[in-house]
Copies of this chain bind each other. A is one copy, B any other.
Amino acid sequence: MIIAMKRGAEAAEIQNFTVLLEKQGVRVHCSQGTSQTVLGLVGDTTGIDEEGLKAHHLVEKVIRVQEPYKRANRLFHPEDTRIDIAGPGGTIRHIGAGHLGIIAGPCSVEGRDQIVGVASAVQKAGAGFLRGGAFKPRTSPYSFQGLGCEGLDLLGEAKRVTGLPLVTELMDIRQLEVFDQVDIIQVGARNMQNFTLLKELGHCRKPILLKRGYACTVTELLMAAEYLMAGGNDRIILCERGIRSFDSYTRNILDLSAVPALKKQSHLPVIVDPSHATGLAWMVPAMAKAAVAAGADGIIVEVHNDPERALCDGEQSITPEAFGSLMESLKKYAAIEGKSL
């Protein structure tokens, strides 16, 4: 961390300020120019409050050189992290470190036939994981809010039938007790900065699929991962799912540059959700392929056997047929990139 002091700050004042900084466990190198003094902080600065420093009357600018996250940082963990998930039959599936995770399924669980039907279809087409919402975050209190525990039971049945591990969203830590059968817990975009929830999930032993908030930076996503990891949970999958912009052609803007950015900064696997990002089913295959080309470790995609009668987000769900032909393309892309599906 580098601190440019204000012009005219006196030597004695700067000396006192330096002592204050060193009490926080860092060493301070002082560089006195003719008009301005610059301090360089050496050591672990993750605990230093940047905002607090900026408020000090002697300080002109504060610049972080080191990123404010540690456990999620590739600097301290150069190899890619691979998340291993044991399926029902004892088989183990991987995400990251050369393994593409393909997660598919409907937005919401709507009934037994629907979820088992879609699960079987995506499994046949090559998906490795089943997604489906039981507890749904909806912007309107008057919209369908998910089947809740009944939905979880139906997901469990689909898992038994197909052998696919389950990915579903948890909105409240008290739901954890009914999540026994769930293999990967999703934290939704709107909860990415629900720090209470993150802290509690840090103590949980299941892998977490952490979606990027729709107006959160790459660094903020890594700080949210750091919250989980600070609690001891190091099985985190990051997910880019679109950010807000001024153009409403697509629901959000899929920020694929976040994929190489996250992979450079962190060792955690990064997957992409082209369905929520675009909100347009016809655009999903193109963006799923682009995600893999950009270096993603997987995709999470909405598939529905009857998009027009879906209880939510039908507009962005592709059919099992479209998913099947997408998988054919992805296999070729994976081969070029040297990744296994």
List A residues at the B interface (Cβ < 8 Å): 2, 4, 27, 29-36, 38, 40, 42, 46-47, 49, 51-52, 54-57, 60-61, 63, 65, 68-69, 137-144, 171-172, 190-191, 193-196, 199, 213-215, 217-220, 223, 226-227, 230, 243-250, 253-261, 264, 277-278, 281-283, 286-287, 289-295, 307-308, 310-317, 329, 332-333, 336
**Docked CA distance A4–B62 (Å):** 13
Nearest CB of chain B from residue A222's CB, rounded to whole Å = 10
The one of B36, B171, B243 in contact with A247, judged by C-beta atoms closer than 8 angstroms, is B243
Nearest CB of chain B from residue A182's CB, rounded to whole Å = 17
- Assess whether B191 is in contact with A63, with CB atoms less than 8 Å apart: no
Question: Contacts A34-B42, A194-B194: A314 and B55 contacting too (C-beta < 8 A)?
Answer: yes
Copies in the complex: 4
- Assess whether A255 is in contact with B264, with CB atoms less than 8 Å apart: no
Nearest CB of chain B from residue A282's CB, rounded to whole Å = 7
Interface of A is mostly: mixed
User: For A333, what are the chain B residues with a Cβ–Cβ distance below 8 Å?
Assistant: 293, 333, 336
Pairs A-B, 9 closest by C-beta atoms: A215-B215, A31-B31, A55-B314, A293-B293, A55-B315, A290-B294, A244-B246, A190-B193, A290-B290
